[in-house]
């Protein structure tokens, strides 16, 4: 380790790097036998509420793969659970809510988040993780974006079509905006607390924003996401903005104010980067490619690197999360391959 900042942070700032930094969304997760061993004994919220368990699963992929960044093990509904919203994460399903948001009264369950009181476990976990990581490997803070969190809250659980969400957004834009502003303020509070405790970058997950057309996104989602990035600007840490299927939205997501924009695999990285403008880009290998033989993985990774074309500011990642069936040895080999390319 030299005096220079870690290559992940340098790439986020579009500074020169000695090698392309790489980490994987869902690197702390089901592809790892050591993670599955913990999950056999502990539920998702149980892991989040126990700082030593959160730290352990967050650090597992760093130890195993040698990735350039850790990401806090969490879930987009963690701040809702922290303020007492009736939510459960059902195995094989996802977050399920006891009282979906359908009208004004349902907003009452969304009081302002006070991180020190409401989720000391997350703050303690961040402190423990960053102490162990030291200066070489930054921790990325984690929060769900207002649209994606709201989609679960309004539907009452996971959805493929977002019928109720879009009906509320378009039919009750006033109520929708109040809902998103509350979620934005809580995301700001959570991320600020994570950075205060030692996180050196943040990622806002708007995983399902790609379900929206650009005019709808611009009118009903972008303002709340922009509020978050503005609310973090003074911290000086790289802010990453991520979604899936966002080819048409990349320019708008960039306008929302992050420093690094995620590009999923559907858009070739060079084309996606042109839509982002003068910012760093994160991505964009198809996670399903990792199920193919190694020579295919290497070839497709090389294609991503070739499309980055040496532009400053490339953070190598998958276009979405690691698939559960992925062989973890392939992930380790891919880290080495990207570093040596």
Active site residues: 26, 30, 39, 75, 152
What whole-number distance in Å separates Cα of residue 76 and Cα of residue 309?
33
For the residues of 155-185, what is the DSSP string, one character each? HSS--SS-HHHHHHHHH-HHHHHHHHHHHHH
Q: Which helix (H) or strand (E) holds 240?
A: strand 239-242
Work out how close the CB of 319 gets to a second copy at its nearest, in angstroms, rounded to a whole number: 9
What whole-number distance in Å separates Cα of residue 107 and Cα of residue 254?
29
Work out how close the CB of 78 gets to a second copy at its nearest, in angstroms, rounded to a whole number: 23
Residue number, 211 or 276, with CB nearest to a second copy: 211
3 state SS of 338: helix
Q: Of the candidates 31, 81, 80, 83, which has an alpha carbon nearest to the alpha carbon of residue 57?
A: 31
- Residues 6+ away with beta carbon under 8 Å from 215: none
3 state SS of 5: coil
Residues forming contacts to a second copy in the complex (CB under 8 A) are 161-167, 170-171, 210-216, 245, 247-248, 265-268, 271, 286-289, 291-293, 296, 300, 303, 323, 325
Work out how close the CB of 302 gets to a second copy at its nearest, in angstroms, rounded to a whole number: 13
Work out how close the CB of 230 gets to a second copy at its nearest, in angstroms, rounded to a whole number: 27
Residue number, 98 or 324, with CB nearest to a second copy: 324
Residue number, 154 or 195, with CB nearest to a second copy: 154
Q: How many CA atoms lie within 13 A of 202 on its CB side?
A: 30
What whole-number distance in Å separates Cα of residue 187 and Cα of residue 179?
12
Q: Of the candidates 95, 196, 201, which has an alpha carbon nearest to the alpha carbon of residue 153?
A: 95
Residue number, 4 or 292, with CB nearest to a second copy: 292
Residue number, 126 or 212, with CB nearest to a second copy: 212
What whole-number distance in Å separates Cα of residue 180 and Cα of residue 290?
36
What whole-number distance in Å separates Cα of residue 239 and Cα of residue 253?
12
Work out how close the CB of 286 gets to a second copy at its nearest, in angstroms, rounded to a whole number: 6
10 Å Cβ neighbour count for 49?
A: 19
Residue number, 37 or 306, with CB nearest to a second copy: 306
Work out how close the CB of 90 gets to a second copy at its nearest, in angstroms, rounded to a whole number: 16
């Amino acid at each position: 380790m030299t005096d220079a900042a870690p290559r992940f942070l340098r790439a986020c700032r579009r500074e020169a790097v000695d090698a392309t930094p790489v980490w994987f969304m869902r690197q702390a997760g089901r592809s790892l036998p050591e993670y599955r061993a913990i999950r056999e004994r502990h539920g998702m919220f149980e892991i989040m509420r126990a700082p030593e368990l959160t730290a352990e699963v967050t650090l597992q992929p760093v130890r195993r793969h040698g990735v350039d960044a850790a990401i806090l093990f969490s879930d987009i509904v963690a701040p809702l659970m922290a303020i007492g919203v009736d939510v459960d994460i059902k195995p094989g399903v996802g977050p399920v809510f006891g009282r979906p948001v359908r009208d004004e009264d349902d907003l009452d369950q969304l009081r302002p988040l006070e991180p020190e009181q409401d989720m000391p476990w997350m703050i303690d976990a961040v402190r423990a993780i960053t102490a162990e990581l030291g200066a070489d490997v930054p921790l990325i803070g984690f929060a769900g974006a207002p649209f994606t969190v709201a989609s679960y809250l309004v539907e009452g659980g996971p959805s493929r079509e977002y019928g109720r969400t879009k009906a509320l957004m378009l039919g009750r834009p006033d109520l929708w905006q109040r809902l998103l502003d509350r979620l934005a303020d809580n995301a700001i509070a959570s991320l600020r607390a994570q950075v205060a405790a030692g996180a050196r970058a943040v990622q806002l997950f708007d995983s399902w924003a790609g379900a929206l057309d650009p005019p709808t996104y611009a009118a009903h989602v972008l303002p709340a996401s922009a509020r978050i990035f503005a609310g973090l600007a003074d911290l000086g840490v790289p802010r990453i903005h991520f979604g899936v299927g966002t080819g048409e939205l990349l320019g708008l997501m960039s306008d929302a104010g992050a420093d690094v924009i995620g590009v999923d695999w559907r858009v070739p990285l060079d084309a996606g980067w042109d839509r982002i403008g003068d910012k760093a880009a994160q991505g964009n290998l198809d996670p399903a490619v990792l199920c193919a033989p190694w020579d295919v993985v290497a070839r497709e990774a090389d294609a991503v690197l070739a499309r980055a074309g040496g532009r400053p500011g490339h953070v190598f990642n998958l276009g979405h999360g690691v698939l559960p069936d992925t062989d973890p040895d392939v992930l380790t080999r891919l880290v080495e391959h990207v570093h040596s390319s």
